[in-house]
């Protein structure tokens, strides 16, 4: 198999090109690899699709950056059966890999090169795919703020999500939209604080929004939080961060939780949602699950989060993954 490392020089604090090069050159076992540095947003997807159209040999593309880089690699690979996705997380967020125990698990390059591949689901809006989450309402304001401050000292980097939350407290406590899951309208009153549609478990670097999510069960996790006061918000934020909101009785009257395959959103003009971190303005859109859409490389030392029951899929793509 050929291994191609897609390096985003704009991700994280440092360009990881030299670090990855040194590690690969030091491998005792000869590895057929290339390193490609992206030139602009969307370049990774275009490069991968061009490569896969020219060659049908087995290849694995590693996203070397943050969740945005991973999203571009995923959108490049999807639809090509001879290609798979790996991840060498070196961005500021890296939320999706927390499903498997965090980014340190993926930093062991020798183990990553020999990682097993598992079929996992994706979500789709139109002709775009996401691997981790679609979120909106309060979260849209948070995501937009994060984009603006992510490279600033103190309020950026790992603190960017917290900064976004503070801004959201002033601007986005009540948001107009209707959320329908597999034909069921969850909020007839037409307002929300926030909503997450998740395939992974984390958003924003630390918030475990979907603690029951399985990335290969053919379903998406949907959690709607109703508008609340600032005081109530402050009482609940700790549980939402830890991922206990689906079990904690004090959340019962504020949260609506479903699993589904098709999520429809209707909102006013100018509505913004975050699609794996990409901010998109669209007032009506549908999020659909795409079961077993890609193969994802999972290192042998990966440890799933508590409650993340995951059954590896070694069978053919058309066979259904088992879930516990």
253-283-96-122 Cα dihedral, nearest 10 degrees: 110
**One pLDDT digit (tens) per residue for the chain, 324 residues:** 999 999 988 765 556 777 888 888 877 678 899 999 999 999 999 999 999 999 999 999 999 998 999 999 999 999 999 999 999 998 877 999 999 999 899 999 889 999 999 999 999 999 999 999 999 999 888 878 887 887 788 888 778 878 888 888 888 999 999 999 999 999 999 999 999 999 999 987 788 999 999 999 999 999 999 999 999 999 999 999 999 999 999 999 999 999 999 999 999 999 999 999 899 999 999 999 999 999 999 998 887 655 454 444 334 343 333 322
- List all residues 6 or more positions away from 11 whose beta carbon is below 8 Å from its beta carbon: 64, 65, 66, 68, 69, 90, 91, 92
**For residue 23, what are its two tokens?**
């590690």
The residue among 7, 3, 31 whose CA lies nearest residue 19 is 7
118 within 8 A of 144, measured Cβ to Cβ: no
277 Cβ contact list (under 8 Å, min separation 6): 66, 67, 68, 71, 93, 143
For residue 100, the 8-state DSSP code is G
Under a CB-based contact definition with an 8 Å cutoff, are residues 18 and 96 in contact? no
Instruction: Write down all domains in the chain, each with its CATH number in brackets.
Output: 2-121+292-298 (3.40.50.10330), 133-288 (2.60.200.40)
Distance CA 12, CA 64 (A): 10
For residues 252 and 249, what is the distance between their CA atoms, to the nearest angstrom?
5
Please report the pLDDT score of residue 28 as a whole number: 66
| C-alpha to C-alpha distances, 146 to 2, 29, 151, 157, 288, nearest whole angstrom | 35, 41, 9, 9, 26
Q: Can you tell me the distance from the alpha carbon of 131 to that of 215, in angstroms, rounded to the nearest whole number? A: 9
């Amino acid at each position: 198999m050929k291994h191609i490392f897609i390096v985003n020089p704009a991700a994280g604090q440092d360009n990881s090109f030299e670090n990855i090069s040194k590690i690969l050159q030091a491998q005792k076992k000869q590895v057929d690899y290339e390193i490609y540095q992206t030139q602009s947003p969307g370049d990774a997807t275009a490069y991968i699709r061009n490569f896969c159209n020219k060659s049908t040999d087995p290849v694995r593309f590693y996203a070397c950056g943050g969740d945005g880089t991973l999203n571009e690699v995923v959108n490049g690979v999807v639809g090509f059966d001879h290609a798979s996705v790996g991840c060498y997380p070196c961005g500021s967020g890296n939320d999706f890999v927390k499903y498997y125990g965090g980014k340190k698990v993926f930093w062991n390059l020798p183990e990553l090169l020999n990682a097993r591949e598992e079929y996992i689901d994706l979500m789709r809006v139109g002709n775009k795919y996401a691997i981790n989450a679609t979120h909106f309402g309060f979260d849209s304001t948070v995501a937009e703020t994060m984009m603006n401050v992510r490279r600033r000292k103190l309020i950026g980097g790992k603190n960017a999500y917290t900064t976004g939350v503070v801004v959201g407290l002033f601007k986005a406590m009540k948001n107009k939209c209707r959320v329908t899951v597999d034909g069921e309208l969850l909020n007839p009153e037409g307002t929300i604080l926030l909503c997450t549609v998740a395939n992974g478990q984390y958003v924003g670097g630390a918030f475990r929004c979907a603690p029951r999510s399985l990335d290969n069960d053919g379903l998406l996790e949907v959690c709607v939080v109703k508008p609340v006061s600032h005081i109530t918000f402050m009482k609940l934020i700790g549980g939402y961060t830890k991922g206990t909101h689906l079990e904690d009785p004090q959340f019962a009257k504020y949260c609506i939780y479903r699993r589904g395959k098709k999520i429809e959103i209707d909102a006013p003009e100018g509505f913004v949602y975050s699609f794996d971190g990409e901010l998109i303005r669209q007032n009506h859109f549908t999020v659909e699950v795409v079961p077993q859409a890609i193969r994802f490389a999972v290192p042998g030392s990966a440890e799933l989060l508590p409650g993340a029951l995951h059954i590896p899929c070694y069978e053919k793509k058309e066979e259904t993954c088992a879930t516990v």
